[in-house]
Amino acid sequence: MGLIARPQPDAAVLDSVRLVARHLEKHGLQVVFDDPTGVALQVEPKLCVSREQLAQACDLLVVVGGDGSLLGVGRDLSHTQIPVLGVNRGGLGFLADIAPDQIEAQLSQVLAGQYLIEEHFLLDAWVMRNGEQLVRSPALNDVVVHPSSVARMLEFSLYVDDEFVYDQRSDGLIIASPTGSTAYALSAGGPIMHPSLDAIVIVPMFPHTLTSRPIVVGGGSKLRITLGDAGYPTAKMVCDSQIRQEFVVGDEVHIAKYEHSLRLLYPIEHSFYESCRSKLDWASRLGGKS
């Protein structure tokens, strides 16, 4: 079994990692750590390997951190198809679902075969300049196109499957997977999408027209964004708020479904709708008696 902690883990995260490790070992399982986690825990060097080696050597990865940690693991390791289980030591925890006080009980359920598997597809994003690819990265949540400088407006054109959709002036565009629909896209007014949907949502950021609304397209769609020369001349493509690439007028941003998906494991009682109720405060007060 592989263990990964979030980058620069604090004492609470390391305590949870140790608890997971002890529980796995109690079940007779060999535990291996990725290099940064092993260094933070000061374990034997022979038990520390790179993330890629970890995925190749293990049957399951347990990630202790927040959703951001799982975003990084998804981008790095989804191509290996290794199942991933998240322990939430971050904020909302839409992806990392196990609470610290439930580690032993819910980890035991998973080890006993009582779990659900959700396939979360990623987006694949790349920038082309004069026929040359500048950068390419998967994104589990979203790909965001925005100005290189704050308080600037972009002018760009959007194409879906090579069909022109619109020219737009706005602060940018969010292209989100169903997984990312409850992240930045939700804050910008996008719809909540069930993780099982094969769809991509396109959400304008403060468009300069009241009729420019989010659009949901098929998961197999291929998107292309070109920067116009009437707005700000440079922009950034950002994947999961973690990978950034600047581009200029004449460049093209391409976005499509990534060829691999992230296999997330959840306790058997996991429910997407319950997560929405608890993490988004749905119906926390319906009126009546206070």
Smallest Cα–Cα separation from 177: which of 198, 204, 159? Answer: 198
Phi then psi dihedrals of residue 11, to 5 deg: -65, -40
pTM of the model as a whole: 0.91
Opening angle at CA 77, ends 134 and 244, nearest 5:
30
When the candidates are 1.10.275.10, 2.60.200.30, 3.40.640.10, 3.10.180.10, the CATH number that belongs to 122-259 is: 2.60.200.30
Mean pLDDT in the chain? 92
> Using 50, 70 and 90 to split pLDDT, how confident is the model at 173?
very high
Token pair 């951001």 in the structure block, residue: 68
Whether pLDDT at 30 is above 50: yes
Query: Do residues 127 and 121 lie in contact, with contact meaning Cβ atoms separated by under 8 Å?
Result: no
Distance (Å, whole) CA 183 – CA 115 = 25
Residues of the chain with CATH 3.40.50.10330: 2-113
Q: Using one digit for the tens of pLDDT, what is the confidence trace for 258-272? A: 999 999 999 999 999
pLDDT of 285 = 58
Q: Using one digit for the tens of pLDDT, what is the confidence trace for 60-69? A: 999 999 999 9
> Using 50, 70 and 90 to split pLDDT, how confident is the model at 289?
low
Whether pLDDT at 204 is above 50: yes
Distance of CA 241 to the CA centre of its chain: 9
Distance (Å, whole) CA 119 – CA 264 = 6
15, 59, 67, 142: the catalytic one is: 67
Task: Give the mean model confidence (pLDDT) for residues 9-14.
Answer: 94
Question: Cβ contacts of residue 104 below 8 Å, gap of 6+?
Answer: 19, 23
Q: Is 283 helix (H, G, I), strand (E, B) or coil?
A: coil
Whether pLDDT at 290 is above 50: no
* Superfamily for domain range 2-113: Probable inorganic polyphosphate/atp-NAD kinase; domain 1 (3.40.50.10330)
Residues of the chain with CATH 2.60.200.30: 122-259
Opening angle at CA 16, ends 10 and 17, nearest 5:
85
pLDDT of 182 = 94
Query: Do residues 140 and 179 lie in contact, with contact meaning Cβ atoms separated by under 8 Å?
Result: yes
pLDDT of 286 = 59
Active-site residue, 162 included: no
Q: Using one digit for the tens of pLDDT, what is the confidence trace for 86-96? A: 999 877 778 98
Strand partners, 158: 166, 225
Distance (Å, whole) CA 260 – CA 71 = 14
Q: Using one digit for the tens of pLDDT, what is the confidence trace for 106-127? A: 999 999 999 999 999 999 999 9
